Structure 1
C-alpha cells in the first residue's frame, strides 16, 4: 500500500509541475507578444517588428519562438556598428536575415537560414552593421529586399547596451 501512495504523490507532483511550467511559458509568450513593436518598411514590405536592444534579448532573439506571421519580425539594435553575427540556437523555423548600416541601408542578406545550422554556422556580414532584421524565410524575395535597399523605421538608440 505504501508504494502506491508514493507513486500517487509522484504523479500529483509531476502533473502540478507540468501545469506550472505550461503557465510560465504562456506568461513569457504573452510578455514577448506585448513587447514594443514598431513598423519597418523595407523593399515592398511593411513589417511589425519587436525591438531587441539589450544583450539579453539580443542573445535570445527568436530562440524558442514557435512561429512568426509573414508580416512580423525582430529588429536587433546594437550599441555601435560592427560585424554582428547571428546564430540559429533553439530556432524552430527558417528565417531571412538582413543587416543594415547606421543609415539603415542593407549591407548583407541571408536567405532561408535553417535551424539545423546551429552550432556549426554563425551568419556574419561582410560589412559592418548597426541593425539586424530577422523575418520569416521568403520575406527577402516576397518584399524584393536587395543590397543597398533602405529601411524606414524610428527607434531610439540612446542608451543601447
Structure 2
C-alpha cells in the first residue's frame, strides 16, 4: 500500500541538476524546463530528446526519481515559487535552486505518475471528442443553408 502523506521536503538543488538551456543542445527525454524570462510559470516536459528555448532553465532529476513525477511536483509548486522568487516578469536562474520539492518514496512516485498520466490521456481523449463534435456541428450547419 502506498502512503502519499509521507515525503521529504527538499530544495531542487538537492535532487536535480539545472542549467540555462543552450541553443541547439539536445536534452534527454524526461527533462523538465521552466521559462524564466517573461514568465508566468510555464513548465514543460520532454517526452523524447529535444531542444529547449534559451529563455528556459532545463532541469534533470537525479537517478532514482521518476522524471514524470518530478514534473508533476514542479507544476504543483510553481505558483508558490513564482510568488516568492520572481523579480517582475523574470526569475533569476540561481533562484531555481530554491524550488520546493516534495519527494515521496520511489513506489509512490511511480504510482502518482501512472495515475496522472492516465488522467492526462483521458483528458486528451475528451478534448478530441469535443473537437470532433464541433467539426460535425460546423459541417451540419453549413449543409443546413445550402
Q: Give 1 or 2: higher helix fraction.
A: 2
Q: Give 1 or 2: higher strand fraction.
A: 1
TM-score, length basis structure 2: 0.32
